[in-house]
Structure 1
């Protein structure tokens, strides 16, 4: 065998071994981080989305380009599911409050995600507490379990999974994914940062301040909620991008420290590799209400008609329609 052929085959073998070793390393890192994040709910366990697909790997090869693409027929076998995202600010000698509450509805068959905030000051019954209060106080009184049960009661709809993120760790995650780009609708200053109107590239500290400001926003908490939703969309997009995959180890390590969830390793893998790439559309909706002081305390009041409207929007998005292969 000629020397150049031996060298070529040797180099190819090294590349295959290196690629295999790197894949195994990434897999191990991901599984370790997923296990560190995993904190099951003590009351109700969600069903697994990854066990609902039948057949093979759910991906097909485009014979024209040779690229691997999501198989719509396989994706359509996943049921829709909901996720409650809790952004928690912890205080000294205080369990913290869920100052950010975002509900995600994911419909794999439709390739779409619905996203909306529940304003932190929303007045509702805290399930397990026996009285009405601000919805973000549910976390302080009963942690994740009370938060989920209260949201389920408020929406009259089950929550399949939760993701709890430490807001201080949020800044670190933004830096690790390489920052985020947002469109800022208004010019403002907050916590020493100036945010000009228009498209902005934000680092972690800037993104955290951008997410927290509400009193200088003409729309108050609703304006802040809109900014938070955009940030969450950008972080998700950056995390599964090629650039994000290059930073996979520090991203996973940070996630293991800052995030708690009842999404299992198998379901997380399913979402990242099969469901996530099929999502082509993200819709947002706003929970309408009005502010009112009751006994000197400010609340956001959502009437029953509005709750029924949001329930209907959520139900409609969760309906699965078959996709033609």
Structure 2
């Protein structure tokens, strides 16, 4: 149980980091056009999915339209599709240069679109892969899901290492995962960055403190990824990306996003889905009240300008 929880946390951090790298690295990408082309060809995985009823016309990033992305953190195993232990939806609006992110708890009870009954939302991936996950999340949030980003957990460490590590200002001395983190400015490799971002119970601020450290690492990765010094590591960075993510974004769409949406990374708001735990037939679920679901839906719809 503890190991699974740690993986979910790491996947959440990695998912946000990947989105920031895709959006924020415009100059970086154009400088290494050929490498980007090769990487996007490897990570591009189109899906067979009917047009969303929640959009009159498909989104056009070349027109700088707001769009949404579902990030799926998947612990893949041989011979088993696995489940999406982390599900994050990001809405991106270039008109007000902002991003809203909502993490959907894996135990959230909702209708699984294509199955016709209610179950844990993360089971959608096990039943029908990316397509069923997108359809189910789209129904739960009542917004169109335009793109997906599927993430392999181990890739988070690879990306931090690829940019040469990150430096953060730590305000709480603690030890976790076999690593010690003193107060002050510290430099982290991939393994330490993951442990630094995971700790919660020793922090008197609880999850707030953990989220603070997650944001520190994410911003540090962005800073390193966009810096001139990191250009020498571009091969390692692209290798980390093509080994660990899949997306239906095309090469042209990625370039358009990097060109027109890069300022959105300066304003990222994280939304939280509130609910209460319940047992149904001896199975634990998170029950999200209708009022809470409507609140999240309304905020995301407004951000997408729909």
Q: Retained in 1: the 8 A contact 2:165–2:190?
A: yes
Contact 1:50–1:266 at 8 Å: present in 2 too?
Answer: no
Instruction: State the partner residue of 1:80.
Output: 66
Of residues 135, 139, 160 in structure 2, which corresponds to 1:153? 139
The 5 A counterparts of 1:90-129 are 90-129=76-115
Q: Which residue of 1 aligns with 2:38?
A: 32
> Unaligned 5+ residue runs, structure 1?
1-21, 53-77, 321-325
TM-score, length-scaled by structure 2: 0.76
Could you tell me which of 249, 254, 260 is aligned with 1:263? 249
**Higher RCO structure (Cα 8 Å, ≥6 apart):** 2
Alignment of 1:290-309 (within 5 A): 290-309=276-295
Name the CA shift for 1:140/1:182 in 2 (closer, same or farther; >3 Å). farther
Corresponding residue SS for 1:94: coil
Q: Which of 29, 53, 62 is equivalent to 1:51?
A: 62
1:132 lines up with 2:143 in the alignment: no
Equivalences for residues 83-232 of structure 1 within 5 A: 83-181=69-167, 189-194=175-180, 201-210=187-196, 231-232=217-218
Give yes or no for contact 1:48–1:267 (8 Å, CA) kept in 2. Answer: no
> Does the 8 Å CA contact 1:188/1:196 hold for their aligned counterparts?
yes
Residues 120-129 or 80-89, more deviating: 120-129
How far is the alpha carbon of 1:189 from its aligned partner? 4.9
Q: Quick one: structure 1 residues 185 and 162, their matched pair in 2 at CA, closer, same or farther if it must change by over 3 Å? A: farther
Distance in structure 2 (CA, Å) of the matches to 1:186 and 1:248: 33
Change (3 A) 1:238 1:112: farther
| Cα distance change on mapping 1:239 and 1:120 into 2, 3 Å | farther
Deviates more, 1:142-151 or 1:190-199: 190-199
> Does residue 251 in structure 1 map to residue 237 in structure 2?
yes
Q: Secondary structure at the match of 1:124?
A: strand
Tell me which moved more, 79-88 or 36-45.
36-45
Point out the more displaced range, 149-158 or 137-146: 137-146
- 2:11 equivalent in structure 1: none
* Partner-residue secondary structure (3-state), 1:40: coil
> 2:124·2:132 contact (CA, 8 Å) conserved in 1?
yes
Decide whether aligned partners of structure 1 residues 41 and 283 sit closer, same or farther in structure 2, where only a CA change above 3 A counts. same
User: Whose radius of gyration is greater, 1 or 2?
Assistant: 1
Structure 2 distance, partners of 1:50, 1:142, is 27
Shift of 1:181: 4.8
TM score, norm. by length of structure 1: 0.72
**Structure 2: stretches of 5+ with no match in the other structure:** 1-27, 53-57
Q: Provide the rounded CA distance (Å) in 2 between the counterparts of 1:128 and 1:145.
A: 10
| Residues 155/131 of structure 1: CA separation in 2 closer, same or farther (3 Å cut) | same
Which residue does 1:4 correspond to in 2? none
